[in-house]
Amino acid sequence: MNLSFQEKSLWVVFLGLIAASGWYCYTVSESIVPTELAVDVMPDQVALFIAAVVLLIIVQIVGHIAIAVGDRRSEMDERDRLIGLKGTRNGAFVLATGAFFALSAAMMTKGNFVSSHVLLGFWVLAQLTETGSQLFLYRRGR
């Protein structure tokens, strides 16, 4: 499979996001006591979130350096821009849906744990939808 620089870059973002958010979700779910629902985001979870963001940034930097070593970076052309716009549109639908559910969760649950994690979950999902749909469109041709 012959991938362009943009496609490889999208794969790095896609896989990096899965790795960082997966690690965060797994670690936070391990720390929650199963008998009671967490009410507020705890300081150690904030630290975990920051660590996940740092992990994501490191994965992106290392991944893009690896791509740049083996590939000449080409400028974005009209097809890249069109695919980018379509991906952003798809991601925006998911993010808007997430904002609605996060607001609903904020109004119906105690504390900020549920609403902030609903928002975080949908943000990750929106990013995955955006990059995933771009990867799909690149393979389909447009």
Partner 1 sequence: MRKGEALISNKIRALRFQHDEMTQQMLADRVGVTRQTVNAIEGNKYSPSLEVAFRIARVFCVPLEQVFQYAGSGDPCA
Residues that bind partner 1 (CB under 8 A): 2, 4, 6-7, 74-75, 77-80, 138, 140-142
- Which token pair is 50? 């920051």
With beta carbons less than 8 A apart as the criterion, state whether 16 and 63 touch.
yes
Q: Which one, 13 or 20, has the nearer CB to partner 1?
A: 13
> Could you tell me which of 82, 97, 96, 98 has the C-alpha nearest to residue 133?
82
- If the CB atoms of residues 30 and 78 are measured against partner 1, the closer one turns out to be 78
- Least spacing, CB of residue 84 vs partner 1, in Å: 13
Which of 30/75 has CB closer to partner 1?
75
Minimum CB separation of residue 78 from partner 1 in Å reads 5
Looking at the chain, how many residues does it have? 142
Write down the least CB distance from residue 90 to partner 1, Å: 18
CA 69 to chain centre: 25
Which contiguous run of DSSP H or E holds residue 3? none
